[in-house]
Amino acid sequence: MTERIIPIVDQRDPLPLPAGGAFTPGAHIADTRGRALRDLRVSVTDRCNFRCTYCMPREVFGPDYAFLQRDQLLNFEEITRVVRLFKALGVEKVRLTGGEPLLRRNLEGLIGMLAPLGLDLTLTTNGSLLTKKARALKAAGLKRITVSLDSPDERVFQAMNDAEFPVSRVLEGIDAAAAAGLAPIKINMVVKRGVNDTSILPMARHFRGSGHIVRFIEFMDVGATNGWRMDEVIPSSEIVRMISAEMPLEPAAAHYTGEVAARWRYADGAGEIGVISSVTQAFCRDCTRLRLSTEGMLYTCLFASKGNDLRALLRSGASDADLQAGIARLWQARSDRYSEIRTEATAREPRIEMSYIGG
């Protein structure tokens, strides 16, 4: 087996086992900045069939990249147990991510195991397998979905996603998700100056009045392989101005504290868009997210460079109480605020890849 190419720091520290329980089941636990643990992102695979340039550039994630082997991944029983434990720690929302989560075999089986927990369960996908899977996901208990789509234009789509896959089939997948009754459907568009900024207005026009919500995402320095530069970032304020000049927008209130996207509704009632502004309007102050990698490492920030090994404890017979106390301790010690301290220099620091922990 070829040596696994790890272009990033990949250190695992054993999860600290605290003395005594440090949480009240069902109650929110708070980190050092008073932020509650509310959202868990679960990556179910490190593999993807696209090679988005801002996430999984082909020159790094090429044919020699040794992805994780099946026995290294948390199995569905382990994921379900972990999610159940997090629910008791106050988690209300679970997002399944990847890589591309629909590549994980029988993902609807996992959704069927998680749905009875009664959490707000959603999933982020590149849409390539949605036409095939939408009905099964819905039947298994998934209620809503987010699709990553960086342009409705084939040439621009290829420039951003380097996917040997036609954009028309992603659009068909979105229609299949709507037909299956998944709602709301959110569309995530990462905007990179000089690559797909010409698609901002076509994207807004395409989904306006559809009921689907496009979220325009500032290009971020995630991971250590996407060659991020500040001058390739288009600030959300500029995106809102551009759209509003043609289709007037007005600000809309957040649904809840910690909502990632700032909401803007069309003044004529034709729906809404969102903007996610990690670079120009950091939202770390209300960040309530913890990430679980597909092999069971916990990360307290998207821009982390260190994870804590939950899998080792899971597989060493640790009790539910020990696991929960450890997770509680990890969160209570959390102080992450990367987007508030980002500089061109910090952007070059080695960190975990987004494809490994999910966006």
Which positions touch ligand SF4 (CB under 6 A)? 278, 283-284, 287, 289, 301-303, 336-339
For ligand SF4, the closer of residues 208 and 337 by Cβ is: 337
CB of 304 to ligand SF4, least distance (A): 8
Smallest gap from Cβ 119 to ligand SF4, in A, equals: 20
Sign of CA dihedral 290, 163, 189, 231: positive
Smaller CB separation from ligand SF4, 131 or 278: 278
DSSP state of 68: P
Residue with tokens 């054993």: 14
Nearest CB to ligand SF4, comparing residues 47 and 289: 289
Classified as helix, coil or strand, 133 is: helix
Measured from the CB atom, is 290 or 323 closer to ligand SF4? 290
Nearest CA to 182 out of 136, 229, 242, 225 is that of 136
In this structure, are strands 289-292 and 39-43 parallel, antiparallel, or unpaired?
Answer: parallel
Distances from the Cα of 236 to the Cα of 105, 146, 201, 343, 354, angstroms: 37, 20, 13, 18, 21
How far apart are CB 158 and ligand SF4 at their closest, in Å?
29
Amino acid in position 73: L
Nearest approach, Cβ of residue 37 and ligand SF4 (Å): 12
By beta-carbon proximity to ligand SF4, the closer residue of 104 and 291 is 291
Q: Are 101 and 123 in contact (CB under 8 A)?
A: yes
- Tallying the residues shown for the chain, one arrives at 359
User: For residue 93, which of 213, 335, 220, 255 has the smallest C-alpha distance?
Assistant: 255
Phi-psi region for residue 347, left (φ > 0), alpha (ψ -120 to 50) or beta? alpha
What is the closest distance, in whole angstroms, from the C-beta atom of residue 133 to ligand SF4 in the complex?
Answer: 28
DSSP line for 274-333: EEE-TTTS--GGG--EEEE-TTSEEESSTT-SEEEEHHHHHTTT--HHHHHHHHHHHHHT
CA distances (Å), 250 to each of 33, 187, 237, 247, 288, in order?
Answer: 31, 19, 12, 10, 26
Nearer to ligand SF4, 197 or 336 (CB): 336
Q: Which residues contact 335 (CB under 8 A, 6 or more apart)?
A: 31, 32, 33
Q: 128 or 300, CB closer to ligand SF4?
A: 300
Nearer to ligand SF4, 137 or 279 (CB): 279
* Minimum distance from residue 221 beta carbon to ligand SF4 (Å): 10
**Which structure tokens are listed for 276?**
């996610």
List the beta strands (DSSP E) in the chain.
11-14, 39-43, 93-97, 120-125, 145-148, 185-191, 213-218, 249-252, 262-266, 272-276, 289-292, 297-299, 306-309
CB of 101 to ligand SF4, least distance (A): 19
Based on CB atoms, which residue is closest to ligand SF4, 140 or 301?
A: 301
